[in-house]
């Protein structure tokens, strides 16, 4: 293997890893946008269905963690909290299904926190792009701050109706997709600057 091939492999790995992260973020933005559209079109049904899906995911995760705890003999591992976390996940899942219709307030907070998290990831990306001298960092930062404001609004505005939350999610999803597309276009430049 030549020296050029040895150098090329890590560069390709970095590029692939960055693109994978960007595409993952873009998919999350698309999910947010689709969920927002569903909330605008069918607010009540969407919340109940989402509560049931979320509940089922937590229940499955909880059962898996509890079974896995005993299968791998986690009780002998000081750092294995599978039994506790599995039980909590199971209870949260059951609660989400049982009180599905009354979950709108909690659902609003979860969505808001998710939006805030997504925006902070993009703020971090913008800061990293700035440190490598990539010019689009300022656009990504502005987009991330708009997403952050929307997330804060959804999280802390108890009076926000479900359809308004849906519109906020649609806007956040679109903004996220634009931000991710801008980053994907700059991946090769970022890799070049990181590997100099």
- Look at residue 165 in the predicted model and tell me its pLDDT: 79
- Look at residue 46 in the predicted model and tell me its pLDDT: 79
How far from the centroid of its chain's Cα atoms is residue 192's Cα?
27
* pLDDT band at residue 145 under the 50/70/90 scheme: very high
The predicted model gives 160-174 an average pLDDT of 82
HEC profile of the chain:
CCHHHHHHHHHHHHHHHHHHHHHHHHHHHHHHHHHHHHHHHCHHHHHHHHHHHHHHHHHHHHHHHHHHHHHCCHHHCCCCCHHHHHHHHHHHHHHHHHCHHHCHHHHHHHHHHHHHHHHHHHHHHHHHHHHCCCCCHHHHHHHHHHHHHHHHHHHHCCCCCHHHHHHHHHHHHHHHHHHHHHHHHHHHHHHHHHCC
- Look at residue 1 in the predicted model and tell me its pLDDT: 46
The predicted model gives 28-38 an average pLDDT of 86
Looking at the predicted structure, is the pLDDT value of residue 161 above 80?
A: no
- How far is the C-alpha of 183 from the C-alpha of 52, rounded, in Å? 35
* pLDDT band at residue 169 under the 50/70/90 scheme: confident
Q: What is the pLDDT of the chain when averaged over all its residues?
A: 79
The predicted model gives 126-142 an average pLDDT of 84
Looking at the predicted structure, is the pLDDT value of residue 57 above 60?
A: yes
Looking at the predicted structure, is the pLDDT value of residue 96 above 70?
A: yes
The predicted model gives 76-100 an average pLDDT of 76
């Amino acid at each position: 293997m030549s020296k050029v091939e040895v150098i090329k492999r890590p560069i390709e790995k970095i590029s692939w890893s960055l693109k994978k992260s960007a595409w993952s973020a873009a998919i999350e933005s698309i999910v947010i946008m689709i969920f927002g559209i569903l909330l605008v079109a069918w607010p009540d049904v969407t919340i109940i269905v989402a509560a049931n899906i979320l509940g089922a995911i937590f229940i499955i995760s909880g059962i898996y963690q509890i079974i896995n705890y005993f299968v791998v003999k986690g009780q002998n591992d000081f750092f294995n909290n599978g039994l506790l976390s599995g039980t909590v996940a199971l209870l949260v899942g059951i609660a989400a299904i049982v009180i599905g219709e009354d979950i709108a307030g909690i659902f609003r907070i979860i969505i808001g926190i998710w939006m805030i998290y997504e925006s902070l990831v993009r703020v971090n990306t913008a800061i990293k792009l700035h440190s490598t001298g990539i010019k689009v960092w300022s656009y990504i930062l502005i987009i991330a701050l708009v997403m952050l404001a929307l997330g804060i609004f959804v999280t802390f505005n108890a009076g926000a109706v479900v359809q308004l939350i849906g519109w906020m999610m649609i806007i956040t999803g679109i903004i996220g997709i634009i931000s991710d597309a801008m980053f994907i276009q700059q991946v090769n430049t970022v890799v070049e600057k990181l590997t100099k």
